[in-house]
Structure 1
């Protein structure tokens, strides 16, 4: 019998090399993330594979799975340990090799395989690892599946079976690239900075966009798992500023930035302005709702209020459905509701037919932006952006808060604002107009300014976003009010970035 995993072991000891280690907090809301060697070892990854295989059989799903790995120095080793565990649990594994997360999701359709386990820590700092999992394409695991998987792994409820096997799918990236480029080229010349932050997308994104007729200016597309300049995260200002500088230097029409596993895309316009992904979503919603009047768009609670108030979207009969932040939550909502697209402020976009297959793919998102520009010849991206009603928005700001306590802190923050609303109190000098508590708390006051606090789903952090349709000063007022509540909790630490 395989040993029960330990929550911690001392590295460079016999126990570390002969027993599985799996820190329980690595099982998150909809995927798994650990610091490799400190929170999980290779035998722990093997236990994860056996647990996942056991869960697949328990759910009555055909025991067949696609796997791939991102470009980190240890990801291939982690994938191999995962595969050993999966095969021991009787799973047929299709390995597509070095891949983007959306490439693995695509492989589920292309190879007609129901399950996926993509080894990636996305944009997390080097040293992290993780797995994005699913067994009902195009959806990925939510809290119920993750809770059951956690129980199986930590309690060693493994059921080992015969029948496990392994197939390596040769040259699979070419099939993914062909799927995205088997279409007419763009009609108009577009000069684009393609930024990859030295992450996995650098192996694929420039070639795909060049094949569509884009004049590509590569930025940090050389693969380097040490991430020497900044993490490949198009939500972080450091990467966005590098994209801005490249746009201005090369007089490009747009910059498109991809995160570590290629399922998100960030955008900078021709003037060097960083357009936060929720505002890009409004632009795409305008463009697509002209082609599909009356469309429904799912929007995460971190996103701008323009999806409701924008006059163009109102004229096109758009319905905005604000929902929980998180790629699995959004994916499920988009597919169950039949929405045309789901937009997250983080840059995860979920295009249903006719644009996509319902999963998040940064390349599909980038192509949608390019198609929007192609459908508006003579108009610069900055002009399309400037046509939106003006709002002042913060980037996503993340103060440190330990995984073990972050949800408790958020619960207390939610109760605080609920009490303020019940008492008729004010936030930043105004009464509360609306509270959304589907995912943390989003507090909107009378002038439409709002602030959000929620727990990060994949890091020991909270998430704070603020926006005002009135002024930059009001945005700062809301931030001070929200941060003032957080500062009453000493366990909340410093921000990664602030306004």
Structure 2
């Protein structure tokens, strides 16, 4: 097939392109440069041209990046691909992934499509591409179609004739400021006046939030840290799931006696917040907070989450008047499931993962860490007028006393059938053991509740979305309660000689 090159297919990671863009880590050779991004961009333009019914020369694309060191080289290839097709480009510089989608919605930019150069929280040597149209992000079938159409023989000549600069960060920031001013319900143009709010951008692309969003709203941002873009990520990984990153923003919040701390990942499609006591509102707690906010405006709506959320969260959502639909891991899976429910007449206004990816129906189902922070800030401004704080909204959330997440490696090359065999045997093991009760419905792996000598909780064994790994999640309502259950499960897993236990 013309244009078919298996090396390009190795760059697909679900609905994204991901590769090694810089040398520096042994055993990880570079496979993503301006040459590859040029060919992929040409193929994307051809795909987009067919989709919207415009000639490539009549299209306008926005191109942005996070702070990664390889961004300039990869953008050079994107500009070259656009130059070859005569497609106009708006160069948005360092910006957030969600803002790139909004560039297709803002009248000032009015782009037909967008390309974001990012690899989220991955190490400094990695990079990639995300794609948007006015309908949202592309899915894995779209990416496969684009990669199939890549023609490596077309080369990558230097050409920036179609490139114009566009300050997307400024436009997007004004959009968020307007949302907060309207949502806070005050006549004041500075509804955050009197609040101290610290931001930790992890040297990614989110530093703009302190200067361009919070300050115009009257907030004191003294104590914010790691705002300057630096693709070496010298302070900590920009990842709201990383313990060191969360610890850094917790310390900053307490040290500066802030009303709120906010942390973003590299490209700002994920976030978490820290309350004034230094407690992290992330994972299940962030889902509970966003659910409580959504359910105030949309009673009875269905909240779609990933598969590893707690039973306490389910009880909280139901007590708050909503429905909890636990689905699969993967932010695109969660979002697509929420969209599907709406199409079938089941209202669903929030799709959110424990990773910090959260998408609201009111916001185009765009997973946007800055929008999550915006919703938290609006609610904080409202609550403070009543003498309350964000933790008051989730006071009824019952949280586990112990939790464990393990990654069991599969050492055989053909790992999917082997993993399926393990899951089938796991189901039989649980059914035969009277201490476990399999949960139904369940959309990913095998989940079961357990009751062992007063130790209650749940376990989930599943296949990784892309890797030869079987994640094992445990939660217990008893202090140190996971250890006993883990030993029971390890005894079972030791029966499989192609599994490597951590």
Deviation at 1:178, TM superposition (A): 0.6
Q: Deviations over 1:305-344 (max 9, x none)?
A: 334212xx32443122222322322333333434211111
Deviation at 1:112, TM superposition (A): 3.2
Q: Is the 8 A contact 1:71 1:223 kept in 2?
A: yes
How many Å separate the matches in 2 of 1:26 and 1:210?
Answer: 40
Q: Deviations over 1:331-379 (max 9, x none)?
A: 33333434211111000110222xx232011111012112222232323
Q: 2:332 maps to which residue?
A: 328
Q: 2:147 maps to which residue?
A: 150
Q: 2:177 maps to which residue?
A: 181
CA RMSD of aligned residues (A): 3.4
Q: Secondary structure at the match of 1:201?
A: coil
How many Å separate the matches in 1 of 2:153 and 2:493?
Answer: 40
How many Å separate the matches in 2 of 1:166 and 1:403?
Answer: 49
Scaled by the length of structure 1, the TM-score of the pair is 0.81
Matched, 1:319 2:323: yes
Structure 1 pair 88–214 and aligned structure 2 pair: CA distance change class (3 A): same
Structure 1 pair 492–194 and aligned structure 2 pair: CA distance change class (3 A): farther
> Aligned to 1:453, which of 445, 448, 462?
462
Aligned residues: 464
Q: 1:370 maps to which residue?
A: 377
Deviation at 1:393, TM superposition (A): 6.0
Q: 1:132 maps to which residue?
A: 130
Deviation at 1:159, TM superposition (A): 13
Q: 2:92 maps to which residue?
A: 96
Q: 2:356 maps to which residue?
A: 347
> Aligned to 2:474, which of 457, 463, 466?
466
Q: Is the 8 A contact 1:270 1:382 kept in 2?
A: no
For structure 2, the 5+ residue unaligned runs are: 23-29, 182-189, 343-347
How many Å separate the matches in 2 of 1:403 and 1:34?
Answer: 24
Q: Secondary structure at the match of 1:266?
A: strand
Q: Secondary structure at the match of 2:229?
A: coil
Structure 1 pair 228–96 and aligned structure 2 pair: CA distance change class (3 A): same
How many Å separate the matches in 2 of 1:157 and 1:489?
Answer: 46
Deviation at 1:176, TM superposition (A): 0.6
Scaled by the length of structure 2, the TM-score of the pair is 0.81
For structure 1, the 5+ residue unaligned runs are: 8-21, 495-499
Q: Secondary structure at the match of 1:97?
A: strand
Structure 1 pair 388–437 and aligned structure 2 pair: CA distance change class (3 A): closer
Q: 1:17 maps to which residue?
A: none
Q: 2:184 maps to which residue?
A: none
How many Å separate the matches in 1 of 2:210 and 2:406?
Answer: 27
Matched, 1:299 2:305: yes
Q: Is the 8 A contact 1:279 1:304 kept in 2?
A: no
Q: Is the 8 A contact 2:409 2:500 kept in 1?
A: yes
How many Å separate the matches in 1 of 2:492 and 2:162?
Answer: 52
Q: Secondary structure at the match of 2:162?
A: strand
Bigger shift: residues 144-153 or 112-121: 144-153
> Aligned to 1:285, which of 285, 291, 312?
291
Deviation at 1:435, TM superposition (A): 5.6
Q: Is the 8 A contact 1:282 1:306 kept in 2?
A: no
Q: Deviations over 1:288-321 (max 9, x none)?
A: 31232112221111323334212xx324431222
How many Å separate the matches in 2 of 1:387 and 1:367?
Answer: 23
